[in-house]
Structure 1
Amino acid sequence: MSSNTLDGLQSFTERHDYHSWLDLQLDNVDHGKVQISIPANENLHNPGRNGLIHGGIAATLIDTASGFALRTTFEDPVTARLATTDLNVSYLRPATGTLIAEAKVLRAGETTGVTDVSVKSTDEDESVAAGRTTY
């Protein structure tokens, strides 16, 4: 993918209030694949849970990484319109630190796309969640 695609998609996240609040970063973009991350931030922790990140953050990463991976299969990734129709999240262990999601498109059809996603923690360098989405 071109650096214009990465720049365009990163600009999209900066204009999106929720993505911007999360400080979501696109780390790597390729056709049908993306890597995104959310830096460690105390605002994402569960109250009183010793620095454990709320599960909704991993779910957000799975949903968002999937959408960006699918966008890379469109002629114009920045203006593509998508809607999640199914989101499956399996939590594997408690999440801490910076979270990194890697999404891969399994199918990009005329009306439906399916992705697989793995979310890792930089603190443990282990998967904390796995997911699959349908758009």
Structure 2
Amino acid sequence: MTGFDADDASAFIQSYVDDHGFLSFLDLDVESAGDGEMTLRVPYDEKLTNHGAGEGNVHGGIAATLIDTAGGLAVRTALEEPVGAGVATIDLNVSYLRPARGDLVADASVVRVGSTVGVAEVSVTAEEPDGDTEEVAVGRGSFRIFN
């Protein structure tokens, strides 16, 4: 990020998240931010789980939100003017691989950033009850860039 080191970028983005109603409701935490990369975590909480069939599994919309948010923020970190530019999702693809019953961690990396569109790929993992970390969802987002 031009003008930011990794610690500054993480703190700046965490401040944005904390002021965002939905993302703060999820208790989303910025673990790291770098040039074209982003890692976000949502801690496991019963308020985010399914009821009935699949009870206790984190709702799939949480993983989709992580893919969307981490991808868009990763694209933002790759921009020359990351703070002044706008980024909006224009396409999002999510593939669910298995249920999640732990904290969700999204690792995003930019595939390409052009003058008007950026693309990022995201992997979402969760720690399983046995302590192993498993990939639970993958996705790719395309983001319109407004300078």
Question: TM-score over 0.5 for the alignment?
Answer: yes
Q: CA 1:128–1:43 in 2, change beyond 3 Å: closer, same or farther? A: same
The alpha-carbon deviation at position 29 of structure 1 amounts to 0.9
CA RMSD after TM alignment? 1.2
The question of 1:4 aligning with 2:12 is answered no
1:21 aligned to which of 9, 21, 25: 25
1:131 aligned to which of 123, 139, 143: 139
Q: In structure 1, how many angstroms separate the alpha carbons of the residues matched to 2:83 and 2:127?
A: 28
Q: Number of residue pairs matched? A: 135
Q: In structure 1, how many angstroms separate the alpha carbons of the residues matched to 2:138 and 2:122?
A: 6
- Point out the structure with max Rg over C-alpha: 2
Q: Is the 8 A contact 2:123 2:135 kept in 1?
A: yes
Unaligned 5+ residue runs, structure 1? none
Q: In structure 2, how many angstroms separate the alpha carbons of the residues matched to 1:28 and 1:22?
A: 17
1:46-83 deviations in Å (ceiling 9; x for gaps): 01333101110000000000011011012343443111
Moved more, 73-82 or 85-94: 73-82
Unaligned 5+ residue runs, structure 2? none
Hey, which of these two has a bigger chunk of strand by percent? 2
Q: In structure 2, how many angstroms separate the alpha carbons of the residues matched to 1:78 and 1:37?
A: 22
1:47 aligned to which of 48, 51, 63: 51
The two structures have a TM-score, normalised by structure 1, of: 0.95
The two structures have a TM-score, normalised by structure 2, of: 0.87
The alpha-carbon deviation at position 103 of structure 1 amounts to 0.3
1:11-70 deviations in Å (ceiling 9; x for gaps): 000000001000001101110011100001000000133310111000000000001101
Amino-acid identity (%): 47
Q: What SS is found at the alignment partner of 2:116?
A: coil
The question of 1:56 aligning with 2:80 is answered no
1:69-128 deviations in Å (ceiling 9; x for gaps): 011012343443111000000000011110000000000110000111000002240100
